[in-house]
Structure 1
């Protein structure tokens, strides 16, 4: 009798193990929050209110600067962004495309960001670029889009 119960529990254990190895997809904002190398971005997304946009609607593609990418931004620039929520929201929205763009679907050319300015996308073989940033980890799935980590923080053109 014990052997049968154990045998009956095996499929359940296999299913649970499979779930534990692959996280359940969540919104783009929550996907960013889950990624350890995106902690700075996650904090800024929450602070700016961009998280509200990224949690609902979509689809969205986020070119997400890693913590290493933020280290290259001058401290003065980060301080200015922290003091100006509208500019912070503008900079973060520049990293967002209001469509789901998987790495395999990237075509060299420009696309409109959620901020309103065009972003230059490029592809050479398996390498994908956005402006002067290189995609490091592509196609992190979310329920309402996709996240690609990049090695630079993108700054939108100044509107006049």
Structure 2
């Protein structure tokens, strides 16, 4: 899988004229297919504790959603989408699935988690119903996957659910605490290394992280994460 190329910066420059009024995923859109989500047991816990609503980060982010942003493309994104539902401030007002649907960089991910790519995989209620850290691949990350391979994944509900839940960790993790190994909802670990504008999630680079939604902390990444093959 190829890494994010230099065209990403140019793509950000076009966001300002892109349609940001994407169809929002509401908490009433379909039901989560628990049989396709692995495992059916309660969600795995993160190696970092969930951020209490009264924490310093929650309070600071409520006053300024941009206070904890990290990543080399945050400034470009803020400039391209300075206001509205898809902006950093706009995303902070909505639960994560709704917020992602308003972000012009996350069209493919939004379609994947809302049942639009495979009706058997609808994770909207689950994502909107808890506290999470979400590693969100941007559209170019999905575009880097060969079309044949992507089509095969989309057609297999179990595989698609496994990949999507591998991008989610229970509990909100701030950029200052993100370095380390975290257990995903899928059940296996992701390894996060680095800090500031140089953070990696496995082999994916964080483009802009610490983006707050009403119930999650989001890290935009340049590569789709693939869970390790289970032994």
TM-score by length of 1: 0.81
Question: Given the alignment of the two structures, is residue 100 of structure 1 paired with residue 172 of structure 2, yes or no?
Answer: yes
- CA RMSD, Structure 1 to Structure 2 (Å): 1.7
Question: Given the alignment of the two structures, is residue 110 of structure 1 paired with residue 181 of structure 2, yes or no?
Answer: yes
Question: Given the alignment of the two structures, is residue 126 of structure 1 paired with residue 197 of structure 2, yes or no?
Answer: yes
1:124 & 1:63 partners in 2: Cα distance?
Answer: 15
> Equivalent residue of 2:106, what SS?
helix
TM-score by length of 2: 0.57
Of the two, which has the highest radius of gyration?
1
Q: Which has the higher contact order (CA 8 A, sep 6+)?
A: 2
What displacement does 1:125 show? Answer: 4.5
More strand by share: 1
Runs of 5+ in structure 1 lacking a partner?
1-18
Question: Segments of 4+ in structure 1 off by > 4 A?
Answer: none
More helix by share: 1
What displacement does 1:81 show? Answer: 1.4
Matches within 5 A, 1:19-34: 22-23=89-90, 25-34=93-102
What displacement does 1:36 show? Answer: 0.3
Question: Given the alignment of the two structures, is residue 70 of structure 1 paired with residue 142 of structure 2, yes or no?
Answer: yes
Question: Given the alignment of the two structures, is residue 148 of structure 1 paired with residue 219 of structure 2, yes or no?
Answer: yes
Number of corresponding residues: 140
Deviations 1:87-107 (A, max 9, x none): 101100000011101222222
Name 1:52's counterpart in structure 2.
125
C-alpha contact 2:175 2:195 (8 A) present in aligned 1: no
> Equivalent residue of 1:120, what SS?
strand
Name 2:70's counterpart in structure 1.
none
